[in-house]
Amino acid sequence: MISGTLIFAITTYALMVWAFLWAKKRAFHMPVMISVMLVDICFPVYLVMTKDWYRRLIEQEEILSFMIWMHFILVLFLYALYFLQIQSAIKLVRGDESIRDEHRNQGKGILIARGLVILSAAMLIEPVDQG
């Protein structure tokens, strides 16, 4: 069974891809991208508040797991790309057209990184015991 958190992440990813493809429609592109980035930045707070991380990371010793660390590093990489993307977006809004290709390439990188973050998160979901 797919968790609601994963469905939410995949849905916002699909929305982000749609906004990327409609980049010329600024009235759609900018609010969607900003909203998804804000949701992504706040998402760890939601997870900490709703999941039993102490049991999982400390008691079950998953803090030593390669997958946990890979996921964490991918999230940090995604946040670094968001920072660079925001900087280039500000330059674009101010009229610097020379940054457009860089902004688009950063967007492609964000889509790849976010896809990998969602995939690694999906692999870390604990199965629900039905019995």
Provide the pLDDT for residue 11: 97
Which residues of the chain, if any, have pLDDT below 50? none
Dist. CA 121–CA 4, nearest whole Å: 13
Provide the pLDDT for residue 1: 55
pTM: 0.88
Contacts of residue 70, defined as CB under 8 A and 6 or more positions apart, other chains included, come to 120
Provide the pLDDT for residue 48: 85
- Among 91, 113, 111, 115, smallest CA distance to 101 is for 91
